[in-house]
Amino acid sequence: MIDRYAVIGNPISHSKSPLIHTGFAHDSGQAMSYTTLEGPLGQFAATVNQFRAEGGKGLNVTVPFKLDACAYATDLADSARSAGAANALKFEGDRCYAENFDGVGLVRDITHNLGHALRGQRVLLLGAGGATRGAVLPILQQSPARLFIANRTVAKAQDLVAEFLAHGTSAVLEGGGYGDLGAAEVFDVVINATSASLGAELPPLPASAFAAEGLAYDMVYGKGLTPFLQLAQHSGVAHLADGVGMLVEQAAEAFAWWRGVRPETRCMIERISVPLQ
Ligand code: ATR
């Protein structure tokens, strides 16, 4: 019987993960299957138990189950613990290992695929939800000059920063509201980790926050020029990107973790990219 993997979520039919992982398996000669698994709400553990009983080896986890995945796992990697959420599970006997590869996928896309080093850069992260949580440590590991987390609900950004600082993370980390971004303050890299783009909304970000030679990165993918990317474009930002590379890179990290082989990502990113227009 070949090894079975899947992505669990609800809804899940839109997921690009089966396309990505079957492509990786084909390219790297791995005998495995990868499907979608729609988990009924409130029945994450029962659904995963059944998948394991049928020989499942690992799962990617998406909305709304990333917190459930953390609670379910027996062994949490630092990435999952600090994010409070897991996006990949691996089953070995009665153990369930949990990782969160979203942040590392983001950083690899920015630094490796887009060629934009984060070292010494002024980075602005918009939002204070799960997507931001996963990104904080991998960004700090790149030694930026500054990492500011801005959120609509100011206390949430402040609490998040306090939580990371309490665990000894770098003093370059700060948080606040959009109103705390001074008119003169400019960021080399602005990352939209809010869910605003999903509803074609724009976080209340001053256009002056973008450095002209900088990078504006929207974590959503396949939506073309989101209102956030349009604002960046109108502000004259040199480099715009959506989250398609992050999606493929986090998938590659999970694939390597499960199979011991790191797949090539560039062709896959090109294959599923939607032009930014
Ligand atoms: P995720 O797990 O995808 O990060 P989440 O935990 O629901 O999702 O967080 C969504 C984030 O997007 C929050 O930071 C939210 O801001 P609030 O904390 O103030 O709710 C942010 N967000 C959503 N819509 C937004 C909008 N239109 N403008 C600005 N921020 C928005």
Q: How far apart are CA 79 and CA 104, in angstroms?
A: 9
Q: Are residues 158 and 179 in the same domain?
A: yes
> What six digits make up the tokens of 254?
């999970």
Residue 2 Cα, ligand 1 centroid: separation in angstroms? Answer: 40
Residue 277 placed within a domain: no
Percentage of the chain modeled with pLDDT above 90: 95
Q: Are residues 182 and 260 in the same domain?
A: no
Q: Are residues 109 and 120 in the same domain?
A: yes
pLDDT for 277 beyond 80 = yes
Q: Are residues 71 and 196 in the same domain?
A: no
Residue 192 Cα, ligand 1 centroid: separation in angstroms? Answer: 10
Q: Are residues 94 and 108 in the same domain?
A: no
* Contact of 180 with 202, CB cutoff 8 Å: no
* Contact of 69 with 98, CB cutoff 8 Å: yes
pTM assigned to the model? 0.95
Q: Is 195 in the pocket of ligand 1 (CB under 6 A)?
A: yes
Q: Is 136 in the pocket of ligand 1 (CB under 6 A)?
A: no
Q: Are residues 46 and 114 in the same domain?
A: no
Assign residue 128 the CATH number of its domain: 3.40.50.720
CA neighbor of 89 nearest in space, from 49, 145, 137: 49
Q: Is 153 in the pocket of ligand 1 (CB under 6 A)?
A: yes
Give the domain extent around 53.
Answer: 3-100+245-272
Q: Are residues 108 and 216 in the same domain?
A: yes
Q: Are residues 128 and 23 in the same domain?
A: no
Contacts of residue 188, defined as CB under 8 A and 6 or more positions apart, other chains included, come to 121, 122, 123, 211, 213, 214, 215
Residue 126 Cα, ligand 1 centroid: separation in angstroms? Answer: 9
Per-residue confidence band for 172, with pLDDT thresholds at 50, 70 and 90: very high
> What six digits make up the tokens of 108?
């690899």
Note the pLDDT tens digit of each residue in 173-191.
999 999 999 888 999 999 9
Q: Are residues 134 and 20 in the same domain?
A: no
Residue 126 placed within a domain: yes
Q: Are residues 60 and 134 in the same domain?
A: no
Q: Is 227 in the pocket of ligand 1 (CB under 6 A)?
A: no
Assign residue 72 the CATH number of its domain: 3.40.50.10860
Q: How far apart are CA 277 and CA 225, in angstroms?
A: 5
Domain tally, the chain: 2
Q: Is 150 in the pocket of ligand 1 (CB under 6 A)?
A: no
Q: How far apart are CA 161 and CA 200, in angstroms?
A: 27
Note the pLDDT tens digit of each residue in 72-114.
999 999 999 999 999 999 999 999 999 999 999 999 999 999 9
> What six digits make up the tokens of 68?
């459930």
Q: How far apart are CA 86 and CA 72, in angstroms?
A: 10
Q: Are residues 75 and 10 in the same domain?
A: yes
Residue 238 placed within a domain: yes
Residue 107 placed within a domain: yes
Q: How would you classify the pairing of strands 32-38 and 56-61? A: unpaired
Name the residue of 194, 221, 247 whose CB sits within 8 Å of the most ligand 1 atoms, as the mutation to test its pocket: 194
Considering only CA atoms, which residue is closest to atom 6 of ligand 1?
A: 129
Residue 260 Cα, ligand 1 centroid: separation in angstroms? Answer: 35
Q: Is 82 in the pocket of ligand 1 (CB under 6 A)?
A: no
The per-residue pLDDT of the chain, averaged, comes to 96
Q: Are residues 7 and 88 in the same domain?
A: yes
The predicted structure's pLDDT at residue 167: 80
Residue 198 placed within a domain: yes
Residue 174 placed within a domain: yes
Residues labelled catalytic: 66
Residue 173 placed within a domain: yes
3-state secondary structure of 43: coil
Q: How would you list the strands of the sheet with 122-126, edge to edge?
A: 173-176, 146-150, 122-126, 187-192, 210-218, 239-241
> What six digits make up the tokens of 150?
């801005």
